[in-house]
A and B are shown apart, each in its own frame.
Chain A
Amino acid sequence: MRYAMIIDTLKCVGCSDCVVACQTENDVPIGYCRDWITETVNGSYPNLELELKSERCNHCDNAPCVRCCPTGASHVGVGGIVLVTANECIGCGACIESCPYDARFQHPDGYVDKCTFCHHRLEKGQLPACVSVCPTKCMYFGDLDDPNSEVSQLLKNRKHKTLAPEAGTKPHVFYLI
Chain B
Amino acid sequence: MTTSRRKFIKISALGLGAVAASTTAINMFGSNSYIDELVKQNVSKKFKRTATYCEVCFWKCAAWTYTNEDGEIKKIIGNDDDSHCYGRLCPRGTGGVGMYTDEDRLKTPLIRTTVNGEQTFRKASWDEALDLIASKFKGIKETHGAESIALIKHGAPGSHLEHLLKAFGSDTIAEPAYAQCRGPRETGFNLTFGSWVGSPEPTDIRDTKCLVLIGSHIGENMHNSQVQEMSDAIDNGATIITVDPRLSTAASKSKFWLAIKPATDIALMLSWMNVLIEEGIYDKEYINKYATGFDELKKHVSQFTPEWAYGITTIKPDVIRETARAMAHAAPAVIIHPGRHVVWYGDDSQRARAMAILNALLGSWGRRGGFYFKEAAKVPNFPAPAYPEPKWGWKEIGEKYPLAQMGITNEVMKCMLPDKDNKYPVKALMVAGTNITKAMPNKKLLEDAMDALDFMVVIDTMPMDVTGYADVVLPECTYLERYDDIRSATNREPSIAIRVPAVEPKYESKPAWWMAKQIGERLGLGAYFNYDDFKEVIEWQLKEMGTSLEEMEKIGVKNYPRKSGPMYLNEDETYNFPTDNGKIHLYSQELKDLGFDPMPNYTKHPEPPQGFYRLNYGRAPMHTFSRTVNNPNLNDLKKENDLWVNPKVARIIGLKSGQEVWLKNQDDIISTFSIKVRVTERVRWDSVYMVHGFGHQNKELSRANGKGINDTELITKVFTDPIMGGTGMRGNFVAILTENPHKNTEI
Contacts and interface: CB of A to CB of B under 8 A. Distances in A.
17 contacts: A15-B622, A17-B88, A17-B90, A20-B94, A21-B75, A41-B681, A46-B247, A48-B252, A85-B31, A85-B33, A86-B33, A109-B25, A113-B28, A119-B29, A120-B43, A124-B43, A137-B88
Contacts of B728: none
A24 B101 CA distance: 12
Interface stretch (B112-120, B632-640, B737-745): B632-640
A155 interface: no
A5 to B, nearest CB: 16
A89 to B, nearest CB: 8
Interface in A22-46: 23-31, 33, 41, 43-46
Contacts of A134: 88
Contacts of B682: 41, 45, 48, 50
Interface in B1-45: 23-35, 39, 42-43
A86 B636 CA distance: 24
A135 B681 contact: no
Interface of A: 10-11, 13-17, 19-21, 23-31, 33, 41, 43-46, 48-52, 73, 75, 77-78, 83-88, 107-109, 111, 113, 116, 119-120, 123-124, 132-138
- Closest 8 CB pairs between A and B? A85-B30, A13-B219, A50-B252, A15-B621, A86-B28, A46-B259, A17-B91, A136-B231
A133 B88 contact: yes
A15 B636 contact: no
A146 to B, nearest CB: 22
A48 B254 CA distance: 11
A10 B255 CA distance: 12
B636 A133 contact: no
Question: What band does the interface of chain B fall in when counting residues whose beta carbon is under 8 Å from A?
Answer: 35 or more
B634 A13 contact: no
Given A17-B90, A30-B632, A137-B228, 20 more contacts: A11-B234, A11-B235, A14-B249, A16-B621, A21-B91, A26-B27, A29-B25, A44-B647, A45-B682, A46-B259, A50-B247, A50-B249, A78-B31, A107-B25, A116-B29, A132-B77, A133-B77, A135-B89, A135-B227, A136-B227
Nearest to A22: B94
B510 to A, nearest CB: 26
Contacts of B75: 21, 24-25
Interface string B635-667: 011100000001100000000000000000000
Nearest to A29: B25
A161 B245 CA distance: 31
Most A CB atoms within 10 A — which of B32, B34, B42, B621?
B621
A60 B685 CA distance: 43
A112 to B, nearest CB: 9
A11 B252 CA distance: 10
Nearest to A50: B252
A44 B646 CA distance: 10
Contacts of B622: 15-16, 20
Contact of A108 (B25, B27, B35, B232): B25
B621 A133 contact: no
B434 to A, nearest CB: 24
Given A16-B621, A49-B252, A24 B28 contact: no
Contacts of B24: 27
Nearest to B28: A86
A119 B638 CA distance: 28
B463 interface: no
B130 to A, nearest CB: 35
Given A20-B633, A124-B43, A15 B222 contact: yes
Contacts of B39: 120
B719 interface: no
B75 to A, nearest CB: 4
Contacts, number: 168
B97 interface: yes
B621 A84 contact: no
B400 interface: no
A109 B220 CA distance: 35
Contacts of B42: 120
A135 B30 contact: no
Contacts of B219: 13-15, 136
Given A11-B235, A20-B633, A24-B95, A87 B681 contact: no
Contacts of A24: 74-76, 94-95, 97, 633
Contacts of A136: 219, 227-228, 230-231
B166 interface: no
Most B CB atoms within 10 A — which of A26, A86, A109?
A86
Contact of B94 (A21, A87, A113): A21
A111 B28 contact: yes
Nearest to A74: B30
A69 to B, nearest CB: 12
Nearest to A26: B27
B29 A120 contact: yes
B329 interface: no
A84 B28 CA distance: 8
Contacts of A73: 30
A78 B36 CA distance: 14
B257 interface: yes
Given A29-B25, A48-B682, A13 B227 contact: yes
A133 B78 contact: yes
B681 A43 contact: yes
Interface in B662-689: 680-685
B298 interface: no
B224 interface: yes
A19 B91 contact: yes
Contacts of B220: 13
